[in-house]
Amino acid sequence: MSEAVIKVGLLGLGTVGGGVYKILKKFPNIKITKIAAKNTDKNKDLNVKGILTENVMDVANDPEISIMVETIGGINPAFDAITTAIKNGKHVVTANKELIAKKGSEIFDLANKYNVSFLYEASVAGGIPIITAMKQSLAANKIKSVAGILNGTTNYILTKMEKEKIEFKDVLAEAQQLGYAEADPSSDIDGHDAAYKISILASIAFGCHVDINKIYREGISKISITDIDYASELGYKIKLIAMGNFIDNNKIDVRVHPALVPKLHPLSTINGVTNAVSVYGDAVGEVNFSGPGAGEMPTASSVVGDLLAIVKEIGKASMTLPSMRNNYNNNVQLIPIDETINSYYIRVHSIDRPGVIGSLGLICGKHGVSLSQVIQKDLLEGNIARIVLLTHQVKESAMQAAIKEMEEHESTKTIINVIRVLK
């Protein structure tokens, strides 16, 4: 590590920024010399008045600063500040998932052009060192799949639904009251947050740009306690899974949706706000990571980890610049959800008459969908049969065609839910 004091500029002094400030206090050779923050309410007790500015460009343009840490989130002014800092020859560390997901390629190119490091370990899964693991430790592997629980709020909700038998809406309301979920919860519960994160992991895993707009995305609002209980009976938990699968050198499958996860799969054991990632590499096989996915100090731990990696390099005649994997391939396409292969859990309410399961089975068979398990529960009032089907793997388009025909069948009252199963 270099002996000279390294000067660092910080954008944002909220939860993550405050954590970064606190950790860096312990490193005498690293000094935060300027902080851009509009609102310092969360960190009133930090003695930073003399180095505060309201303008992020004051940091990005400060010639004394060699590393800029961005913790304000969102696209602007973060993007402008980061590109300016890079053009000024500064290294940049960020925790900004939205920015990497939407503007990552552009920033990576710029960082390469200006010969600076741009690191973002904290942007996915908070304190879990998944990005360094994939870029560096697993570099000998061709990554075949990466699947994770990347959003703590939805995992907290699903865990609470499962353990305490409280329905989605009520858990969400409680989580909002406690500050675990946002007033507008869409980013979490509709899977946007997880989509940003899996776009970043899939980019690294498969060495290509992943268009955030092409990621299939489905949230957890349709999941009920009944689904969770039936899934459990079948040997599964229900989790919001973000996944990327390698198909061939030109095709990948990247998506976010609730999934039945086998109880023996490591991801099924992840409860509450914890995040987890399961990576399958052709040499190593399956490696699993779990830990805190958010929060002041866990996220700051990853930010400062990146920063220390850069500090170690500063002062060398020629720096090693960790960025994306090599051989970045621009010809990789995301396949649409219709073309993906899955097993499915289907919950149906039917009119109770003899042969109703047979009819559903026949419809499935007609579309090439083969069933692996069928459960029929006690009748509901009004003579309604509750049926759960579990299928073998089949193409989504075939499954959707079968669902459509089941919906139109005279015995069917409602297809209550269709949930994919994690392989």
Residues marked as catalytic: 197
User: Of residues 69-128, which lie at the interface with a second copy (CB under 8 A)?
Assistant: 121, 127-128
Collapsing DSSP states into helix, strand and coil, what is residue 392?
coil
- Strand intervals (E) in 159-314: 216-217, 236-248, 251-262, 274-281, 285-292
Contact between 18 and a second copy (CB under 8 A)?
Answer: no
Whether the CB-CB separation of 246 and 143 falls below 8 Å is answered with yes
Contact between 286 and a second copy (CB under 8 A)?
Answer: yes
Contact between 159 and a second copy (CB under 8 A)?
Answer: no
Contact between 137 and a second copy (CB under 8 A)?
Answer: yes
> Looking at 81, 238, 309, 394, which residue binds a second copy (CB under 8 A)?
309
> Looking at 113, 163, 165, 312, which residue binds a second copy (CB under 8 A)?
312
Q: 284 vs 379, which CB is nearer to a second copy?
A: 284
Q: Where are the alpha helices (DSSP H) in 97-251?
A: 97-113, 130-132, 152-164, 168-178, 186-189, 192-206, 225-233
Q: 172 vs 270, which CB is nearer to a second copy?
A: 270
Contact between 374 and a second copy (CB under 8 A)?
Answer: no
User: Of residues 254-273, which lie at the interface with a second copy (CB under 8 A)?
Assistant: 266, 269
Size of the site for a second copy (CB under 8 A): 49
> Looking at 302, 342, 343, 350, which residue binds a second copy (CB under 8 A)?
302
Stretch in the footprint of a second copy (CB under 8 A) among 194-202, 245-253, 298-306, 406-414: 298-306
Contact between 136 and a second copy (CB under 8 A)?
Answer: yes
CB 24 → a second copy: shortest distance, Å? Answer: 8
Contact between 290 and a second copy (CB under 8 A)?
Answer: yes
Burial 331-361, CB ≥16 within 10 A → b, else e: ebebbebeebbbbbbbbbbbebeeebbebbb
Contact between 308 and a second copy (CB under 8 A)?
Answer: yes
Collapsing DSSP states into helix, strand and coil, what is residue 373?
strand
- Pick from 301, 291, 318, 202: nearest CA to 254: 202
What are the CA-CA distances from residue 43 to residues 38, 47, 51, 72, 300 (Å)? 12, 9, 14, 14, 14
User: Of residues 20-49, which lie at the interface with a second copy (CB under 8 A)?
Assistant: 23
CB 403 → a second copy: shortest distance, Å? Answer: 34
Contact between 304 and a second copy (CB under 8 A)?
Answer: yes
Dihedral of the alpha carbons of 40, 46, 47, 53, in degrees to the nearest 10: -30
> Looking at 5, 75, 173, 284, which residue binds a second copy (CB under 8 A)?
284
Stretch in the footprint of a second copy (CB under 8 A) among 129-137, 204-212, 335-343, 406-414: 129-137
Strand partners, 280: 145, 286
Cβ neighbours of residue 60 closer than 8 Å, sequence gap 6 or more: 9, 68, 80, 81, 82, 84, 85, 88, 90
- Cα angle vertex 364, ends 378, 410, to 5°? 60
The backbone torsions φ and ψ at residue 77, rounded to the nearest 5 degrees and listed phi first, read -85, 10
Footprint on this chain of a second copy (rule: CB under 8 A): 1, 19, 23, 121, 127-129, 132-133, 136-141, 266, 269, 281-292, 295, 297-298, 300-305, 307-309, 312-313, 316-320, 326
